């Protein structure tokens, strides 16, 4: 029971963090906040930018732009990233 509670808690925490990042207020702030999350997730999982790009089915340049705060992802890419993070949390590979 506590395992599932911890997983649910971690998933809800991730959703709250990501939702706050995706607010459409200031694009540069959103891109900057998202860059911290993407880089942190990628490093925690021990993935290269290329490997994360492959997992999300985006280009390596896209991951690089996200991590450097040059762009923030559009809705479809955000959904892919959220799903990927939730999957990694469920598998016990990601802790936020």
User: Taking a C-beta distance cutoff of 8 angstroms, is the pair 36, 52 a contact?
Assistant: no
Residue bearing the bigger pLDDT, 25 or 7: 7
Structural domains in the chain, sorted by start: 2-90 (1.10.260.40)
Q: What is the DSSP letter of 91?
A: T
**Nearest-5° Cα angle at 17, 74 to 62:** 30
Averaged pLDDT for residues 5-24: 61
Give the pLDDT of residue 25: 42
77 closest CA partner among 44, 38, 50, 46:
38
Q: Measured on CA atoms in the order 71, 63, 69, 82, is the torsion positive or negative?
A: positive
**pLDDT tens-digit map of 24-55:** 444 445 677 889 999 999 999 999 999 999 99
């Amino acid at each position: 029971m506590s395992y599932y509670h911890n997983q649910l808690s971690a998933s809800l925490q991730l959703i709250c963090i990501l939702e706050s990042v995706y607010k459409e207020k200031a694009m540069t702030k959103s891109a900057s906040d998202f860059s911290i999350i993407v880089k942190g997730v990628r490093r925690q999982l021990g993935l290269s930018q290329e490997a994360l790009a492959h997992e999300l089915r985006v280009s390596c340049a896209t991951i690089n732009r996200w991590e450097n705060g040059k762009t923030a992802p559009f809705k479809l890419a955000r959904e892919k990233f959220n799903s990927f993070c939730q999957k990694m949390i469920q598998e016990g590979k990601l802790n936020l």
